[in-house]
Amino acid sequence: MTDREHNDLFLSMEEAHEERAAIMDDSGIQDPEALRADLHRHEVASVIRRYYPRGEEAAEYFKLVEKKRGKEAADKLRADCRIAWKKRANTEATGG
């Protein structure tokens, strides 16, 4: 994936976050922590959808996350993606 495609992904994730924040605000949900958790959950799903089973491409994405958002954010995303990755692999292995 090129840097431009990575940047497009970040922009699309930010746009999705802004749209989701507006929806939650309209629904009366204004907790910033809930918004961050919602964005994170969707980003994990997006990483799995875009990169599974191509681990090397996912690793490149995590490097860019670390560069843009810091090691702590990247490590949290990596850890949660590992869980989701294993879950998907197990689901595929069992035919479920």
pLDDT for position 8: 61
Distance CA 10, CA 12 (A): 5
What are 14-67's pLDDT values in tens digits? 777 778 777 777 877 667 788 889 889 999 999 999 999 999 999 999 999 999
Q: Please report, to the nearest 10 degrees, the dihedral formed by the alpha carbons of residues 27, 29, 32, 38 taken in order.
A: -70
Domain ranges of the chain: 3-94
What are 77-92's pLDDT values in tens digits? 999 999 999 999 999 9
Q: Nearest CA to 8 among 54, 50, 59?
A: 50
pTM here? 0.73
pLDDT for position 1: 57
Could you check whether the bond before residue 32 is cis, i.e. omega within 30 degrees of 0? Answer: no
Contacts of residue 96, defined as CB under 8 A and 6 or more positions apart, other chains included, come to none
Contacts of residue 43, defined as CB under 8 A and 6 or more positions apart, other chains included, come to 13, 77
